[in-house]
């Protein structure tokens, strides 16, 4: 009975360590205080870069969605001046641009989660690094 329990505990411990194999997963599960400074510095750079990239692509996709109605206006103007083929081409680009913007925003969220989540993790990392720096200054 004890041997079986020990095997189960070993199995659970192995499974838990696999789940927390990366620094990022440890950050999410345990918090920034339990990671070495080198991992925190690496994650700080990673999350800063992710936030910049996420913000850039989010802004691009939102601008595409925001400006896509201009295609309707341009198509209507082209239709009004008699350029039917070009008007149809421009008008057909409107739903394509909206679909592309929607897919892009969905893809960002699906692959990276929310921007707030990354910002919270970065704030937690930076706060822990500040605490460690203050402790180091007090000791040294």
- Say what percent of the chain tops pLDDT 70: 81
Q: Among 8-17, 75-84, 116-125, whose mean pLDDT is lowest? A: 8-17
The confidence score (pLDDT) of residue 21 equals 54
The confidence score (pLDDT) of residue 19 equals 44
What is the band of 42 on the pLDDT scale with cuts at 50, 70, 90? confident
**Mean pLDDT (the chain, rounded):** 82
The model's pTM: 0.68
Provide the H-helix boundaries in 20-140. 23-30, 37-67, 69-81, 84-112, 115-139
The confidence score (pLDDT) of residue 23 equals 65
Per DSSP, the three-state class of 7 is helix
Token duo for residue 97: 């641009």
How many Å apart are CA 77 and CA 37, to the nearest integer?
A: 60
């Amino acid at each position: 009975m004890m041997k079986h329990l020990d095997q189960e505990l070993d199995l659970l411990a192995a499974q838990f360590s696999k789940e927390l194999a990366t620094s990022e997963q440890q950050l999410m599960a345990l918090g920034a205080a339990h990671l070495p400074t080198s991992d925190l510095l690496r994650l700080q750079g990673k999350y800063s870069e992710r936030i910049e990239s996420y913000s850039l692509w989010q802004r691009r996709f939102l601008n595409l969605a925001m400006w896509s109605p201009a295609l309707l206006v341009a198509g209507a103007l082209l239709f009004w001046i008699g350029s039917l083929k070009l008007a149809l081409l421009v008008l057909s680009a409107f739903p394509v641009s909206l679909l592309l913007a929607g897919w892009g925003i969905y893809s960002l969220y699906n692959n990276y989660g929310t921007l707030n989540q990354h910002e919270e993790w970065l704030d937690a990392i930076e706060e822990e690094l500040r605490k460690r720096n203050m402790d180091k200054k007090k000791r040294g």
